[in-house]
């Protein structure tokens, strides 16, 4: 681990637009913990929230600039005229305040940890003086086309270097000179890999994560409804709550569950303070994102505790579950990869087929989960991530 005295410690200011605790924020907290004091790292967010609370309780210095409307503009609005105007006016005001904090902190390095943060940091810092930690794919299945254009320009001319959370994410930034993009998979602390379970167990089939259309809880419920009649003992569990602007989706999900014939066999567990124990108690983890996932930390967290994985076949997920492209097709839209089953995105029948295969093939599921655990503990440690980033 890097050991520097206080005077020579490099100071870093990481900028994030959100105070919520999404995947990128959890990845950041792990990364800062792994730096083990080797750098003087402060965080700036544009809203209060659980991320700010966690960061402060981990002893991290946090500045909060109240971001107002510019922070609240959703991805869908970002391409509209109203969205652009709110964005532009709010962003200029925010940029002025951000500039003041950066002047006062005078960090050696500024890092943007979210798309909105990158736009603001780009405005304030200009060319090549900041690093972009990219957790999102710059692709049209996720962002409005004009926004992608702006972000690619920022990638090319703004930031000094991009740290992408997967090769799939890196492939969306457009062509950049060699060495300007590095891939650092978000890793887990070593303790996350201790005591993996030996067999998949009898727990529920679960989906864990923010409740949102991009995460696919509704596809999960639809697949559960197909699995339930032939697998009367199977139970299902949805862990997570809606953040940002997805309250409407959460309501629709709840109604879908009420209408389904799953009755007491499906549980809406809400937000969990200890996701590690959730992953451990599940019989299998289902990742159902209908749009390609940039990376997919929940998959690695499940692999770490020995829980078998069914995941949608796109984005960074493939690099986790099928690192060497060694899969076989076992049903329409379902591939069996070394570390889990990969399912055609947005295909409820394929998702149901994969869940049933896992339920029906206990021994194979166990072997897969054991191998997944040992691969994850080699490839996805936070020290590995830190070694690339530092």
List contacts with ligand GLC (CB under 6 A). 22-24, 27, 135, 165, 186, 293-297
CB nearest ligand GLC: which residue? 23
- Are the C-beta atoms of residues 18 and 107 closer than 8 Å to each other? no
Biggest CA–CA distance in the chain, Å, is 66
Point out which residues pair with 64 in neighbouring strands.
45
Point out which residues pair with 6 in neighbouring strands.
none
The CB-of-22 to ligand GLC minimum distance in angstroms stands at 5
For ligand GLC, the closer CB: 86 or 307? 307
Q: Tell me how far apart the alpha carbons of residues 349 and 296 are, in angstroms, rounded to a whole number.
A: 22
Burial tier of 251 (Cβ tally within 10 Å: 0-12, 13-18, 19+): exposed
The CB-of-355 to ligand GLC minimum distance in angstroms stands at 21
**DSSP letter string over 46-90?**
SS-SHHHHHHHHTT-EEEE---THHHH--TTGGGSHHHHHHHHHH
For ligand GLC, the closer CB: 74 or 329? 74
Burial tier of 214 (Cβ tally within 10 Å: 0-12, 13-18, 19+): middle
The CB-of-291 to ligand GLC minimum distance in angstroms stands at 10
The CB-of-93 to ligand GLC minimum distance in angstroms stands at 27
The CB-of-296 to ligand GLC minimum distance in angstroms stands at 5
Q: How many CA atoms lie within 13 A of 44 on its CB side?
A: 26
For ligand GLC, the closer CB: 236 or 380? 380
For ligand GLC, the closer CB: 75 or 370? 75
The CB-of-364 to ligand GLC minimum distance in angstroms stands at 27
For ligand GLC, the closer CB: 101 or 389? 389
The CB-of-380 to ligand GLC minimum distance in angstroms stands at 11
For ligand GLC, the closer CB: 41 or 234? 41
CA angle 251, 257, 262 (to 5 degrees): 170
Output the CA–CA distances (angstroms, integers) from residue 165 to 114, 232, 297, 341, in the order listed: 12, 39, 10, 21
For ligand GLC, the closer CB: 24 or 98? 24
Smallest CA-to-CA distance from 206 within 252, 256, 304, 275 is with: 275
The CB-of-98 to ligand GLC minimum distance in angstroms stands at 22
For ligand GLC, the closer CB: 136 or 347? 136
| Cα dihedral 242→243→247→250 (10° resolution) | -20
All residues at 6 or more sequence positions from 237 whose CB lies less than 8 Å from its CB, including other chains:
204, 205, 206, 207, 266, 267, 269, 282
Smallest CA-to-CA distance from 163 within 390, 345, 389, 341 is with: 389
For ligand GLC, the closer CB: 24 or 148? 24
The CB-of-24 to ligand GLC minimum distance in angstroms stands at 4
């Amino acid at each position: 681990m890097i050991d520097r005295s206080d005077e020579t410690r490099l100071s870093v200011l990481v900028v994030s637009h959100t105070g919520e605790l999404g995947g990128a924020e959890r990845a950041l907290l792990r990364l800062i913990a792994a730096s083990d004091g080797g750098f003087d790292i402060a965080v700036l967010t544009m809203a209060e929230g659980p991320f700010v609370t966690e960061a402060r309780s981990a002893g991290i210095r946090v500045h909060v600039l109240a971001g107002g409307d510019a922070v609240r503009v959703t991805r869908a609005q970002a391409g509209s005229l109203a969205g652009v105007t709110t964005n532009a006016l709010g962003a200029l005001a925010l940029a002025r305040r951000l500039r003041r904090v950066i002047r006062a902190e005078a960090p050696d390095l500024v890092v943007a940890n979210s798309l909105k943060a990158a736009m603001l940091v780009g405005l304030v810092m200009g060319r090549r003086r900041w690093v972009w930690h990219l957790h999102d794919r710059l692709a049209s299945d996720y962002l409005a086309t004009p926004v992608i254009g702006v972000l690619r320009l920022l990638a090319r001319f703004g930031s000094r270097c991009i740290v992408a959370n997967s090769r799939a994410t890196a492939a969306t930034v457009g062509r950049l000179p060699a060495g300007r993009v590095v891939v650092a998979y978000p890793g887990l602390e070593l303790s996350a890999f201790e005591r993996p379970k030996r067999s998949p167990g009898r727990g529920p089939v679960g989906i864990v994560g923010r409740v949102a259309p991009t995460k696919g809880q509704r596809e999960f419920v639809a697949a559960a409804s197909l699995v339930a009649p032939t697998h009367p003992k199977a139970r299902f569990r949805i862990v997570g709550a809606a953040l940002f602007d997805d309250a409407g989706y959460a309501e629709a999900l709840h109604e879908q569950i009420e209408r389904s014939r799953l009755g007491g066999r499906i549980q809406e567990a809400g937000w969990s303070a200890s996701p590690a124990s959730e992953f451990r108690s599940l019989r299998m983890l289902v990742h159902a994102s209908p749009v390609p996932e940039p990376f997919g930390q929940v998959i690695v967290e499940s692999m770490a505790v020995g829980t078998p994985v069914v995941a949608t076949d796109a984005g960074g997920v493939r690099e986790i579950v099928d690192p060497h492209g060694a899969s076989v097709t076992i049903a329409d839209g379902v591939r069996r990869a070394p570390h889990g089953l990969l399912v055609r995105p947005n295909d409820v029948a394929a998702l149901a087929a994969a869940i049933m295969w896992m339920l029906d093939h206990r021994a194979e599921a166990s072997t897969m989960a054991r191998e997944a655990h040992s691969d994850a503990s080699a490839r996805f440690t936070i020290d590995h991530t830190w070694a690339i980033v530092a």
